[in-house]
Chains A and B, each alone.
Chain A
Amino acid sequence: MNLQVAFAATLVALTISPALTVHAQLNMNAPAKKAYVVYAAEPQSIAANKQATLELRFQIVNGYHVNSHTPKSDFLIPTVVTLQPSSGVKTGELQYPKGMPYSFSFDPGTKLDVYAGSFTVKLPVVASAGEHTLAGTLKYQACDNASCYPPRIVPLKVLFNAK
Chain B
Amino acid sequence: MIGGISLVVWSGVQNLRKRRMDDQRSAQTQAVLVRSPDQTPAASSPLRGKPAPEFTLVDLDGKKVSLKDFKGHPLLLNFWGTYCDPCKIEMPWLEEFHKKYASQGFEVVGVTYDSEVGKAAIAKDTHKLGVTYPILLSDSKAEKEYLSDSEVLPMSFYLDRTGKIIEVTAGLGGKDQLEAMVKKTIAANN
Contact = CB atoms under 8 A, between A and B. Distances in A.
Asked whether A and B interact, the reply is yes
Interface of A: 33, 62-63, 65, 75-77, 100, 102, 104-107, 110, 112, 116-117, 141, 143-151
Contact of B83 (A75, A117, A146): A75
Given A147-B170, A149-B152, A106 B85 contact: no
B interface, by DSSP: helix, strand, loop or mixed? loop
30 contacts: A33-B151, A75-B125, A76-B85, A100-B26, A102-B33, A104-B86, A105-B37, A106-B37, A106-B89, A106-B90, A106-B172, A106-B175, A107-B89, A117-B26, A141-B83, A144-B33, A144-B35, A145-B33, A145-B34, A146-B35, A146-B39, A146-B41, A146-B172, A147-B153, A147-B170, A147-B171, A148-B81, A148-B152, A149-B152, A150-B114
A75 B37 contact: no
Q: Considering residues B25, B33, B121, which has the most beta carbons from chain A within 10 angstroms of its beta carbon?
A: B33
- For chain B, the bracket of interface size reads 35 or more
Given A106-B172, A106-B174, A107-B89, A149 B32 contact: no
A117 B25 contact: yes
Interface of B: 25-26, 29, 32-37, 39, 41, 81-90, 113-114, 121, 125, 151-154, 170-175
Contact of A143 (B25, B41, B85, B175): B85
A interface, by DSSP: helix, strand, loop or mixed? loop
B35 A147 contact: no
Contacts of A105: 34-37
Contacts of A149: 151-153
Given A102-B33, A107-B89, A145-B33, 8 more contacts: A75-B82, A75-B121, A76-B83, A105-B36, A106-B90, A106-B174, A117-B25, A150-B83
A146 B86 contact: yes
Nearest to B88: A75
